[in-house]
């Protein structure tokens, strides 16, 4: 047991030294999401939601860095008037989506305070509107893969970011007749702690 602890301590110390040597940052983030899901029986307008979580940033060199994030987002979308009838659900005038999101972004420093960001984002469904579960079916698949592109402006310990996310996955698990794809405008503020 003692040998395992010492080995774990050595590995942790080595990883910490590597991270610190390459320029490691850690912080919290929060903001607004404007999301819509394209589908015949969903309204084609953006709905307001929110997100909150944490991020890390590991510098590769002066121009490039990797930024993994972990955050929760939630948005409530309105459905068309015949949504409940078509899918045989009761009281489904709106659907609430809660996701745990894990993006891994490549940061490209394009100026002293300006950075371009791009990469994949994987979302895991955290909860659904209870009315969509009335038939014992999940309304939405458990995962959503998206591509992300955006920018951030950094000011000392604060950064302001804006991104566009386009879903690649069909998140409709109620019916195979129609595909649902998500689009999100992701705006927020980050605060660097380390």
User: Binning pLDDT at 50, 70 and 90, where does residue 143 land?
Assistant: confident
Which numeric CATH code is attached to 24-192?
2.40.160.20
Break the chain into its structural domains and give their ranges: 24-192
How does 9-40 read in b/e, with b if 16+ C-beta sit within 10 Å? eeeeeeeeeebeeeeebebebebebbbbbebe
Q: Are 164 and 190 in contact, with CB atoms under 8 Å apart?
A: no
pLDDT tens column, 73-87: 998 776 555 454 445
12-33 pLDDT, tens digit per residue, is: 555 555 555 568 899 999 999 9
Give the integer Cα–Cα distance in Å for 94 and 73.
17
Predicted TM-score of the model (pTM): 0.77
CB 171 within 8 A of CB 182: yes
What average pLDDT does range 112-128 have in this prediction?
87
């Amino acid at each position: 047991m003692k040998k395992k602890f010492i080995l774990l301590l050595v590995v942790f110390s080595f990883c910490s030294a590597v991270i610190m040597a390459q320029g490691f940052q850690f912080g919290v983030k929060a903001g607004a999401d404007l999301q819509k899901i394209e589908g015949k029986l969903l309204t084609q307008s953006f709905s307001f939601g929110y997100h909150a979580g944490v991020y890390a940033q590991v510098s590769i060199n002066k121009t490039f860095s990797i930024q993994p994030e972990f955050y929760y987002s939630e948005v409530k979308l309105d459905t068309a008037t015949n949504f409940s009838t078509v899918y045989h659900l009761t009281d489904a005038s709106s659907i609430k989506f809660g996701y745990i999101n894990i993006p891994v972004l490549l940061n490209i420093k394009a100026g002293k305070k300006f950075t371009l960001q791009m990469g994949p984002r994987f979302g895991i469904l955290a909860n659904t509107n209870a009315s969509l579960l009335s038939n014992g079916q999940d309304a939405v698949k458990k995962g959503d893969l998206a591509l992300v592109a955006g920018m951030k402006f950094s000011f000392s310990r604060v950064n302001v970011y804006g991104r566009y996310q386009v879903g690649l996955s069909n998140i409709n698990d109620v019916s195979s007749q129609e595909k649902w794809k998500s689009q999100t405008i992701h705006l927020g503020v980050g605060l660097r702690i380390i």
